[in-house]
Structure 1
Amino acid sequence: MKKVSNKWQQYFADLPAEKFGRHLFAEFEDRAKSAAAEVFPVKTAAEAREAVANLAKYINAKNIVIADSLLQQAGGIAAALGKAGLAVYSQPADIAEQAEKADMGISTVEFGIAETGSVCQDAYAIESRLVSALPPVHVAFLNSNHIVAGVTEAMEVIAKAYDRGYISFITGPSRTADIERVLTIGVHGPKRFIIVAIDIATDIAAADICGGDQ
């Protein structure tokens, strides 16, 4: 897939230690949950695979679209869901055709923002945008070590990574209060936003998997 950058991790290195890292995850998790996101911290990619398989079973998913990444490949996510009898679509043409009808979309995000509980997604590829916006349930894989302190730090990273393309900030599930000022979830996007945060340092070399870079 096209990426804004294949070197996200190198841009984190310039941030002060207190402004980036796993120590900010607790704050990120609290803020994300306050925005109605669901956060599932796991230790390994294998645990992530189990969590997603259980979720798919719980919501009775039949069709799943995946914007593939190294982080998902490490957990064998697509293969596991396929073996469970689910229809899994990860090729660009298939995603374009199936995303609107899919029960779940799975993507990978580059980092989280502790200040807001948001995640930043390199969404240069249209597949990333389709799987994160059209299905009623969006599952995002996050390297739990990739958390920046605030929006300021997020913009510093993006300023170094961005040349052209498309970057998304996602904060909780889709919501609107346009109609009579009544808050409604899931009108313009997913009703559920689920973050599977993987502490990949216990499973895979962090230098090899940089927030889903391919």
Structure 2
Amino acid sequence: MFDQFRTRAEGVSAEVHRFSTPAEALDFLVTLLRAEGVADQPGQGAVVADSPFLNAIDRQQLDAIAGLHFEVTRQRAADAKVGISQVDWALADTGTLVQDATAIDKRLVSTLPTIHVAVIATSGLLPDMPAWLAEVQPQNTGYIAMITGPSRTADIERVLTIGVHGPERLVIVFIDQLGGTN
């Protein structure tokens, strides 16, 4: 199922990575943030939405990155280069991420920065929408976001533009030994 998800997600320009442990994923994220030049400068910051992933790691490595903020505001997210959030499910047949984005910080970090890094427990990978509908409890979700690749739009002449209405880059990080969703 993971290979199917990867194929579908990469087919719409997402980047897909998989790690065994939260610590391995953290190392990847730190490397990514450094490679992207995250710094305490306008347009170079990063914001992180609260999530179970943050509780599963030693945050010292993230705390050491200047310009990375755990307190998410609308302005800080709009000015950020990178936004990191944990999503709840992934649909293998379409390469789509599904996030209970009732918490405003999740919406801000997944839609306003140029790069969205979506962290997901591999256990949240489902075959398709019917499987997701059987699992989700609508009374416990107030705002569902479905994310399939980076933001894209096309005009009447079919000229495709990436990143007009949201992130221009989507990096998906699956973690095998990460339990729970937020």
TM-score for the superposition, normalised by structure 2: 0.90
**1:198 — aligned with what?**
175
Query: Contact between 1:66 and 1:95, CA under 8 Å: does it hold in 2?
Result: no
Query: Is the contact between residue 105 and residue 138 of structure 1 (CA under 8 Å) also seen in structure 2?
Result: yes
Shift of 1:26: 1.6
Q: Contact (CA 8 Å) 1:69, 1:108: kept in 2 or not?
A: yes
Structure with greater strand percent: 2
**8 A Cα contact 2:47 2:83, kept in partner:** yes
Does residue 1:126 correspond to 2:104, yes or no? yes
**Does residue 82 of structure 2 align to residue 101 of structure 1?**
no
Measured in 2, the distance between the counterparts of 1:75 and 1:165 equals 28
Deviation for aligned residue 1:161 = 4.3
Q: What whole-Å deviation, never above 9, does each CA across 1:8-43 have from its counterpart, x for those lacking one?
A: xxxxxxxxxxxxxxxx21211111111111011111
1:43 aligns with 2:20: yes
Secondary structure of the corresponding residue to residue 75 of structure 1 = coil
Structure 1 segments of 4+ aligned residues over 4 angstroms from their partners: none
Q: How many residues align?
A: 177
1:81 aligned partner: 62
Query: CA shift at 1:179, angstroms?
Result: 5.8
Amino acid in the other structure paired with 1:130: L
Gaps of 5+ in 2: 40-44
- Identity among equivalent positions (%) equals 40
The amino acid of 2:112's aligned partner reads L
CA RMSD, Structure 1 to Structure 2 (Å): 1.6
Q: Gaps spanning 5+ residues in structure 1: where? A: 1-23
Residue aligning to 1:67: 49
Amino acid at match of 2:62: L
Deviation of the 1:95 alpha carbon: 2.5
Between Structure 1 and Structure 2, which shows a larger proportion of helix residues? 1
How far, CA to CA, are the matches of 2:154 and 2:126 in structure 1? 29
Residue 148, structure 1, aligned to residue 118, structure 2? no
Asked whether the equivalents of residues 89 and 95 of structure 1 are also in contact (C-alpha less than 8 Å), the reply is no
